Amino acid sequence: MKLGLAIDLDTCVGCHACAVACKEWNGKSLMGGAPDYDPYGSAPSGTWYNRIRQYELDGDPSFTPQGCGSTHQPLSKTINVPMSCMHCEEAHCVTVCPTGASYKRAEDGIVLVDPDRCMGCNYCSWACPYGARELDADQGVMKKCTLCVDRIYDQQLPESERQPACVLACPTHARHFGDYDDPASKVSQLAAARGRQDMLGDLGYKPVNAYLSPRKPAQVEAVALRQGLSDKAKAFVNRLISL
Amino acid sequence: MKPAFSVIFFTVMSGAGLGLMVWLLVATMMSAHIRMPNVTFINGVIIAAAFIVVGLCSSTLHLANRKNVIYSLTQFRTSWLSREGVFALALFPIAGLYLWLRSAAAPTVVVHGLALVLIALAIIILFCTGMIYGCLKTIPRWNSWLTPTKYVLFGLMSGALLFVAILSTRSAEIGPLGRPWVAIVLLAAGLLVYLGYLLKHPRKQHTINDALGLKQGQVRLLDVGHTHGTFLTNEFGFQLAREKARLLRWLSIALGFVLPLVLLFFSNTPPFAPVVACLIGLFVERWLFFAEAEHVVRLYHGQQHV
Ligand code: SF4
Ligand code: SF4
């Protein structure tokens, strides 16, 4: 299995619900622990497994209301990007770890940290291009997204809830969870249909999570207006008024 | 990257200590050319050991969970950090065995053979330290063969200066030419490699567009999603003012390389002046090594290029 998330960059509204749900679940869970530091003070900070950032993508400068010449979207667009561990296939965060605390599970590809082995050297966080690892300063060990490994296999939960907390919480259903090894799974189908963003692919980490590309805006045919006599009269009156 | 003092101190100190060890051992094998009283050798060994041990201890200071440090010897197969630790720990029993054999007047072949093993080990340790940084594709500035070269060369160089200083405390013959040529040549080579490192641009430039896979147009950060600093901004967000960087670069070149070179070449200054200048210069160099390196995660925080 190759478990991972598919995150829709078109529908994510950047509400941070996934990050809050993650904090809620992992803040206390067996695998987790995500402390806050000075949460109500002047310098609030904390360990998060998931962070959402907002970007602006410029529009096409050659855009006119009559249509735009390129495949580029016409107007600037806000893109919200939640980021957590991508559970990379070539997870160098794992190979650089000197203690063996970081590991990638053979059975489902989930990348985890064993808090009983981690010595808190931060080296793995240096090796991660995506900023997915943060030190838990209270325990002195590295923390990261566990893909809710303590939810997704839990037989006590109803089957519909055996999903990561972030996926369940997302109000716009921008997040999907599944097995990328199965071409029929929802995430595989979505990634195939929409295409995935190539994020620092040249570093060779092969992220498993897919960021579904924003769709191109539909090209609308521009139809020239037919001007009748009354339109001309109206235009004349308008010109008179604005004299 | 955040310049962590413990790591800077560790790399400079144990680098010099390992370098000193190498030159002490070389000197013992070249007794026809370098006449060194036994006391000088013993003093040298004590100083080298002190530098290495102090450095290694300081390297554990930045660990957030020191009780698990023992596991760091387990991932020899994949992790340069683990390899460094294993080799560094292997150094001590082998050095002990060497000292014992030497004092027990074992056959020269055995003693010299072991000396060669120790020299190789010292260079391997320095190389491993360099590769800890050099192997990271996420930090383009470091991801080059110049990084391990720098670590090996600067270790041998500062060690040679330390060796010259220690040798001069008692009457000893440095060599047929009367000048510490090894130190001079290493300083010159070190200067060239350092200038090369400063001038060479990282092989690959990454942009914010690459980071998000949005190639269609200009991308900029609207909101970073946190109100105060995070682990990531603390670890990777270090900003160095351009002017300050320039100043420090020149300072490290002048103190670390040029001044010791001039002192060794032209004058009979107190023997410790060159090595002190060089070590201070290397501290500045090492601080800059971290402060100037940029991690690609800065792209997600709004930086346009890394
Ligand atoms: S996203 Fe980072 S932490 Fe997660 S597997 Fe990839 S390199 Fe490792
Ligand atoms: S911080 Fe922990 S998990 Fe990360 S490299 Fe160091 S020992 Fe391994």
Closest ligand by atom to B75 CA: 2
Specify the ligand 2 atom closest to the Cα of A96: 5
Average pLDDT, chain B: 92
| Residue A43 pLDDT | 92
Nearest to B151 by CA among B4, B304, B10: B10
Tokens representing B305 are 């290029």
| Residue B266 pLDDT | 82
CA distance B102 to A197: 63
A115 CA to centre of ligand 2 in angstroms: 9
Min Cα–Cα distance to chain A from B174, Å: 42
Find the closest chain B residue to A38 by CA distance: B228
User: ipTM of the predicted structure?
Assistant: 0.92
Q: Which of B297, B305, B306 to mutate to test the interface with A (most CBs of A within 10 A)?
A: B297
Q: Which of A23, A99, A199 to mutate to test the interface with B (most CBs of B within 10 A)?
A: A99
| Residue A65 pLDDT | 62
Min Cα–Cα distance to chain B from A74, Å: 11
User: Which neighbouring-strand residues pair with B96?
Assistant: none
Count how many Cα atoms sit within 13 Å of the Cα of residue A52 in the half-sphere of its side chain. 21
Find the closest chain A residue to B83 by CA distance: A98
| Residue B117 pLDDT | 97
Task: Give, for ligand 2, the residue of A31, A104, A124 to mutate: max count of ligand atoms closer than 8 Å to Cβ.
Answer: A124
User: Which neighbouring-strand residues pair with A54?
Assistant: A80, B223
Q: Three-class SS of residue B199?
A: helix
Tokens representing A227 are 């001007």
Tokens representing A225 are 């207006």
Overall average pLDDT of the B252-272 stretch: 87
Find the closest chain B residue to A102 by CA distance: B75
Lowest mean pLDDT among B7-16, B54-63, B168-177, B260-269: B168-177
Number of H helices, E strands in chain A: 7, 11
- Taking the CB of residue B247, how many other CB atoms lie within 10 A of it? 12
pLDDT in tens, A59-84: 877 766 665 555 566 678 899 999 99
Q: Above 80 in pLDDT, residue B61?
A: yes
Min Cα–Cα distance to chain B from A154, Å: 30
- Tell me the domain boundaries of chain B: 5-301
Q: Which domains does chain A have, with CATH numbers?
A: 3-242 (3.30.70.20)
Q: What is the DSSP annotation of B219-246?
A: EEEEE-S-SS--HHHHHH-----HHHHH
| Residue A68 pLDDT | 52
| Residue A30 pLDDT | 67
Inter-chain touch B78–A95, beta carbons under 8 Å: yes
Tokens representing A7 are 């995150």
pLDDT in tens, A120-160: 999 999 999 999 999 999 999 999 999 999 999 999 999 99
| Residue B269 pLDDT | 66
pLDDT in tens, B91-119: 999 999 999 999 988 899 999 999 999 99
> Residues with Cβ < 8 Å from A51, sequence gap 6 or more?
A19, A82, A83, A84, A131, B225, B226, B230
**B305 interfacial to chain A (CB closer than 8 Å):** no
Q: Tell whether the torsion through CA atoms of B60, B64, B68 and B72 is positive or negative.
A: negative
| Residue A75 pLDDT | 75
Which stretches of chain A drop beneath a pLDDT of 50?
Answer: none
Q: Tell whether the torsion through CA atoms of B258, B260, B264 and B270 is positive or negative.
A: positive
Q: Above 90 in pLDDT, residue B33?
A: no
Inter-chain touch A53–B227, beta carbons under 8 Å: no
Q: A83 phi and psi, to 5 degrees?
A: -130, 130
User: Above pLDDT 90, what percent of chain B?
Assistant: 77
Whether B11 contacts B290, CB under 8 Å = no
- Taking the CB of residue B99, how many other CB atoms lie within 10 A of it? 15
Nearest to B231 among A134, A200, A211 (CB): A134
- Ligand 1, residues at Cβ distance < 6 Å: A 85-88, 91, 93, 111, 128, 130, 132-133, 144, 205
| Residue A73 pLDDT | 67
Whether A128 contacts A10, CB under 8 Å = no
| Residue carrying structure tokens 């619900």 | A17
Nearest to B293 by CA among B282, B306, B280: B306
Output the residue whose Cα is nearest ligand 1's atom 2: A128
Min Cα–Cα distance to chain A from B302, Å: 8
Specify the ligand 1 atom closest to the Cα of A144: 3
A93 CA to centre of ligand 1 in angstroms: 6
| Residue A64 pLDDT | 66
pLDDT in tens, B118-172: 999 999 999 999 999 999 999 999 999 999 999 999 999 999 999 988 888 776 6
Q: Above 90 in pLDDT, residue B271?
A: no
Specify the ligand 1 atom closest to the Cα of A93: 8
pLDDT in tens, B180-229: 888 889 999 999 999 999 998 777 789 999 999 998 889 999 999 998 99
**Domain B5-301 = CATH 1.20.1630.10:** yes
Q: B115 phi and psi, to 5 degrees?
A: -60, -40
Whether A82 contacts A52, CB under 8 Å = yes
Tokens representing B302 are 């709004």
Compute the C-alpha angle B207/B213/B218, nearest 5°: 55
| Residue B200 pLDDT | 84
A100 CA to centre of ligand 1 in angstroms: 15
Q: Which of A51, A94, A138, A200 to mutate to test the interface with B (most CBs of B within 10 A)?
A: A200
Residues 125-144 of A with CB under 8 A from B: 125-131, 134-135, 137, 139-141
CA distance A60 to A73: 6
Overall average pLDDT of the B40-66 stretch: 93
Whether B290 contacts B139, CB under 8 Å = no
Closest ligand by atom to A49 CA: 1
- Name every chain B residue with its beta carbon within 8 A of the beta carbon of A211: 213
CA distance B294 to B15: 24
| The amino acid at B44 | G
